[in-house]
Structure 1
Amino acid sequence: MKDQKSDSQTPLLLMDAGNLLFKKGDSGNNPVAMITAHGIVRTYGTLSYDAVAVSPQDMNAGRAFFRTSQANGFPWISANIFDEDERLVFSPTVVIKRTGAPDVGIIGLTGKSENNSFWARIGDWRETLPEHLAQLESTCGLLILLSNLSDDENSEIAKMYPQIDVIVASSPTRYGNQAPQVVGDSLITQSDGRGTYLGKLELKWHPQGSWLATSPTESHERLQEKVAAIELQIKKYQEGKSEADQEYDKKLTEMLNSKKSVEDRITSLESVIAEQKEPVFTNTFNSTFLPVKPRPSGDEVDTIVQDIKKSISAYQKTRLKEKGQIDQQAGEALQLSQFAGVAACTSCHEKQSAFWTETAHARAFATLVNTGQNYNPECLPCHVTGGSISPVSSFAKKDLLLVLPEDRQAVGCEACHGPGRQHSLNPGNVLPTRKPAEQKCINCHTPEHDDDFDFSTKMNKTACPPTHN
């Protein structure tokens, strides 16, 4: 991607709308998560990202983390995060990319959070966005918003500020890839989170164009609608004027400037129509979502990934030495009294056990050992027989898998058929689950790890031979 950026004749921008540092529930208090967060920033820096918005979840990394990465040139942006003195934390708050024609202005907005213990205040975007738009409109043709606000707020912005051409979203309530949609006169899109997919958006854009227009006349009509929307916004603002609003004149001027900017585009377009020129001002796009795959060995990004793995492994080895014996609470969480282990299953089910030993499930933990990931709690749930502990469990629960007994260090019989201790003691009356639910499988066989997974097909390959001929 870095090579494509440097070699491309067409301007190429790399951007992220936030929510990239942590999985849901993780925080800066989790050392393993922080090791990964540092690695993510290092990777994005290596790939020469142009702008990355800050989300509330990212803010869990702490002020020192952002101060250091900013000092090293990382392009964090947010137009609505304030310090204790009510100054904007991230400077510059916008990014202007000189791409030739047109120059591109990028704004970042941070979503709301229920966490009031942050090291900075997340302000209302309605108070800051108009000022930043006015700053960019005078110098930039194409305006892009990186937003981790809600879907409703992104739609509201698209309708209120038609001068924004593209909104790249990272909504905290939406998961998966979102194909571009036109809302108002803005294009809104989102790719799946935390490095699972890379969204590629190719644009053919004209300053007087519209995503929906097919002729200069239709472009003219769309721009007139923009003016009407801004006029309505100005009217509402004037009607709601408050004596306590010391920024009233400034904000009103910004809205009037936005209106004039669109009116200037209308004037330019009217001359085209009057001269009966025929260019078609249709903005077009092509969107692709690319699954992120492992990089070749020796690649710069692969080197960073390996460094992250080694750092996590070293940290966890140290912690494992400190853990000592498994206490009662950990034993209950690991369901030690409920599992029998593969050896107990083999004593009665020799044919099935022999079949299992030839499957990838039997080698699941060994693959972690071979790659140095057998101490990584983020990997363990899908490579051991973890019982109720799954990839979506809390870090504290996944961390317990470090002390899992050796006979559960594989995806064994009980991973599919459930805990078997009672069945082994009373096989005639206590029966295991015969076939696992599909959800149990797709918890681990996700698109980023197994993009061609089909439950029925894989069941035919991994199902044990029948107990009786």
Structure 2
Amino acid sequence: MSNPLGGLARRASFIDSVRQEGCGVCIVDAGDFIAREGRISDKNSIQLRIAAEFMLQAMDRLGYAAANVGEGDLVFGDSFLAGIAEGLDVQLVSASVFAGGARPFAPARMFTTAGITIGIAGIAWEGFTPYVAEHSDPGRPMAMAATADAMREGLEEIAGADVKVLLAHAPLSELRILLADIPGYDIAIAGHDTNMEPFAEPELAGATRLVNRGWDGTHAGRLDLTFDRTGALIAVAGSAVLLDAAWPDHPDMLTLHADYLARVAAALRDILAEYPVSPPPTGTRYAGVQSCVTCHPVQWGSWRQTTHALAWQTLVERSRDYDPECFACHTNGFQWTGGFTLYEDTPAMAAVQCESCHGAGADHCDAPLLPYSRPGEAACLRCHVPLHSPEFDYGTYLPKVAHPKAP
């Protein structure tokens, strides 16, 4: 294991290792490579646009054959997505998306590797229409075609392929029914379901081999296809490869990611202007650890020996100290009144401090007899999520940061 899991730099090393085996390789994405619907917010639109360009450039360098268009990829409209993909070899595919009554993306792509032609069609669930309509370009209302119709059209587009693959950004429950009703696809790779663990060993939906790619980038799915002497597909074996520290960071992706971080840093004040500052859930404002030391020197000294006190330094060491996506869990009170804003402006709030666990403490500082929050496991789980802290166990981690009880 390692902290965190996943990442394009590790994915690149995995892809290199597969290519070195000497077999044909076809790399695809099932959709929502820019953002997932439930996590999209206007507060990070500038950074998300930069990240979208980075993701497509990374896919292009990694040699992706096709990327399906999920609803989250249309957060800035179809023109933005088509524009940042222009000139790249990675093909955006969707038989579902319509904008202004026209199709902005190819429904499918034919891709040949090791003498095998793979037809790749992309679809997204019709239930995403309200979401994409809300994010349409002016004068170009977006809608999703009926899912079954899109699946049939995609199949027609790849009729001559040796292997027919469906990239399906749709709920698994819907997809299983549709695949049973619409035969013809050899393989379907499902996306979208955020509550599902990735399963790479195919299950049968009708006659189609169905796999779920997982949603958080911690795994790379691998399908090994076996053909007989006539070129007919006779077997598909799958595995979900955990992208942990066993996979070294690929230097090409590190270089590209450094360019991304430099663009974020250059736009940082504009990015932060999109983040709202709100009254904290408890108390009225944050005060900072320097306000605690006068009355709680023993607890302050204990905190100084913990990794929480070094949380900001870990961002500096990884060149992430200008990435707002990291601020909430490496600073004190980010987005809350009185909390961290930018290191140059609020250096004293740069670390996981007393209030990160206990809540905003300015009221307690002003009136020490006021009761103060005592944190439990829920406070830890705001940041120690499986993606970023895969080995977290409350009982094991708590003693590492616990301090002597305050009087």
Alpha-carbon contact 2:194-2:214 (below 8 Å) kept = no
User: Are 2:377 and 1:430 equivalent residues in the alignment?
Assistant: no
Which of 103, 126, 129 is the equivalent residue of 2:117? 103
Gaps of 5+ in 2: 1-11
User: Are 2:263 and 1:311 equivalent residues in the alignment?
Assistant: yes
For 1:382 and 1:122, how far apart are their aligned partners in 2?
37
Q: Deviations over 1:363-397 (max 9, x none)?
A: 112333444433322111011122786xxxxxxx9
Structure 1 equivalent of residue 48 of structure 2: 33
- CA separation of 1:427 and 1:152: change in aligned 2, threshold 3 A: same
Q: CA deviation at 1:107?
A: 0.7
Which shifted more, 12-21 or 298-307? 298-307
Paired residue secondary structure (2:314): helix
The answer to which structure, 1 or 2, has the higher relative contact order (CA under 8 A, 6+ apart) is 2
- CA separation of 1:298 and 1:347: change in aligned 2, threshold 3 A: same
User: Are 2:264 and 1:299 equivalent residues in the alignment?
Assistant: no
| Greater per-residue helix proportion | 1
User: Are 2:243 and 1:184 equivalent residues in the alignment?
Assistant: no
- TM-score normalised according to structure 1 size: 0.71
Alpha-carbon contact 1:82-1:88 (below 8 Å) kept = yes
| Greater per-residue strand proportion | 2
Structure 2 equivalent of residue 233 of structure 1: none
Which of 101, 109, 114 is the equivalent residue of 2:130? 114
* Corresponding residue pairs, total: 380
Alpha-carbon contact 1:317-1:375 (below 8 Å) kept = no
User: Are 2:98 and 1:82 equivalent residues in the alignment?
Assistant: yes
Structure 2 equivalent of residue 407 of structure 1: 348
Letter in 2 for 1:449: H
Equivalent residue runs for 1:141-160 within 5 Å:
141-160=162-181
- TM-score normalised according to structure 2 size: 0.80
Alpha-carbon contact 1:150-1:171 (below 8 Å) kept = yes
Q: CA deviation at 1:297?
A: 6.9
Structure whose CA Rg is larger = 1
For 1:335 and 1:308, how far apart are their aligned partners in 2?
36
Q: CA deviation at 1:293?
A: 5.8
Alpha-carbon contact 2:219-2:240 (below 8 Å) kept = no
For 2:380 and 2:314, how far apart are their aligned partners in 1?
18
Alpha-carbon contact 1:177-1:192 (below 8 Å) kept = yes
Q: CA deviation at 1:41?
A: 0.7
User: Are 2:83 and 1:136 equivalent residues in the alignment?
Assistant: no
Alpha-carbon contact 1:142-1:207 (below 8 Å) kept = no
Equivalent residue runs for 1:18-417 within 5 Å:
18-23=31-36, 24-26=39-41, 30-62=45-77, 63-84=79-100, 86-91=101-106, 93-100=107-114, 102-111=116-125, 112-115=128-131, 116-117=133-134, 118=136, 119=140, 120-137=142-159, 139-172=160-193, 174-179=195-200, 180-193=202-215, 195-204=217-226, 283-291=235-243, 299-317=251-269, 330=277, 332=279, 337-386=284-333, 401-402=341-342, 405-417=346-358
For 1:382 and 1:176, how far apart are their aligned partners in 2?
25
Q: CA RMSD in A?
A: 3.5
- CA separation of 1:342 and 1:172: change in aligned 2, threshold 3 A: same
For 2:83 and 2:335, how far apart are their aligned partners in 1?
39
Alpha-carbon contact 2:306-2:400 (below 8 Å) kept = no
For 2:314 and 2:396, how far apart are their aligned partners in 1?
23
